[in-house]
Structure 1
């Protein structure tokens, strides 16, 4: 499975550690930057990961900034993206099973690294339930199609 990953400077340390972790789990990683801890603007990296997922270059994306908020807002501006900011495993499970989220957003200044790994594991291993949730995801897509 291919996973696109990106961060700003506020998430750079976690991005590098998450890449190592995912590679050890045999995932293929597409690094969309940033490539150093020098200050940069998070919207660029949220968009790059989102485009990678929307264009099917990667199956899922992981984006990281200081809180996860800004970069998730930027990613969600790309058509076809459902980026979910998750701070615990329950949120990651619900994001995937109920919302069919395709990008996980994390905040380096909000959660510990081991906790981030646990959230990632749940996100990547939880299938979309479909059923009644399909109708709701379709409603989200309808809103997207009317506005993007």
Structure 2
């Protein structure tokens, strides 16, 4: 587990919105978008999941996430009638937490990220946060990076 700060470039993605308990709906999103990408012979660079709600403040049945695949901006993609969207992930300053999730402990990984950010000279920003998957989870564990937009902390006045 390690934290790094990265100034990221914007990313072009194709994504599908899912709603409800993330442990159920995120896999459903992947089951929808991955076969479609294969059928389209769409090569993608990264598999990402964007989270739009705070699970401590949002009822589980209305949690929202976008399951996304990054693509080259010049890649032609026909999403007509699919329910998928093309979006651009904003560039900017991100805290990146690299970890391995075992036994489905994704919430623990996010807690560790925010503890590391709070101990740094940064604070979470008002931008996006997402998971980047570095493996397919076939072993039962997930190697991931969690990306959270950040801003430099404003020093307290003396």
For normalisation by structure 2, the TM-score amounts to 0.30
- Larger helix proportion of the pair: 1
Larger radius of gyration: 2
| Bigger relative CO (Cα 8 Å, ≥ 6 apart) | 2
- Larger strand proportion of the pair: 2
